[in-house]
Amino acid sequence: MRVLSRTPLFAGLAEEQLTDVDRRMTSLSWAEGDPVYTQGASAEHLYVMAAGRAKAYRTAPNGQEVVVELLGPGDLFGGLRTLGRPAYDETVEAMTTVCALRIGDDAFRRILAEHPAVGLRVLDDTAVLLAQARADVTRQSTATVAERLAAVLLRLSEKFGEPSREGGNLIELPLSRADLAGMTGSTPESVSRVMSRWRQDGILDTGRRWTAVRDPRRLAEIAAAGP
């Protein structure tokens, strides 16, 4: 119930309405490295992240994995025929131990019929995702690697970061250069060069399973330099 109440799709529903949604959900868990679902499989479930972290990625024709999103508690992901997705567009893989709530197509249809407010939020979310996709296309077409990378790191810092004793925010996620390259439409080599320069300048620091944004103000300036 707490997880559902923090999910934008269901936030604001009355307790009895949340209870109705909750009884249609199934709670499941996955270990680090396990796939929640795979690209191309029939889209039969919608998920709400309860705990843990996961990454969503697409496999290009050349076999390269392109990360499209990182998921945390409260995030909605997956797909349903009801929402116009006959198959999953991406693979979602657990980056840590993950617990999520799952609902099927028929049960979600009943929720839309019985709770019109949820249907309106689905439309709102679709509009936001479309606008974001257009903005991402523009940024990847016109912004530099540094500007795109700065924007991604700021978004991850806002979503996953915790205040650090050394200042700035600490993102405790195992982010590889390939992951960041996928999210910025760049290459691992280009991402490595930019991040090495930023480490020397004191803007950020990195470890095997963490990234520390030491100077968010400077990173925001770099991101704002783009369109």
Q: pLDDT at residue 127 above 80? A: no
pLDDT band at residue 135 using 50, 70 and 90 as cut-offs: low
pTM for this structure? 0.81
Taking only the tens place, the pLDDT of each residue in 76-108 is 899 888 777 889 999 999 999 999 999 999 998
Distances (CA, A) of 50 to 29, 125, 185, 193: 10, 19, 29, 36
The answer to whether the CB of 123 falls within 8 A of the CB of 65 is no
- Which tokens in the block code for residue 70? 């990182």
Tell me how far apart the alpha carbons of residues 143 and 213 are, in angstroms, rounded to a whole number: 21
Q: For helices 105-114 and 15-22, what crossing angle results, to 10°? A: 160
Taking only the tens place, the pLDDT of each residue in 36-72 is 999 999 999 999 999 999 999 998 888 778 888 899 9
Q: pLDDT at residue 18 above 60? A: yes
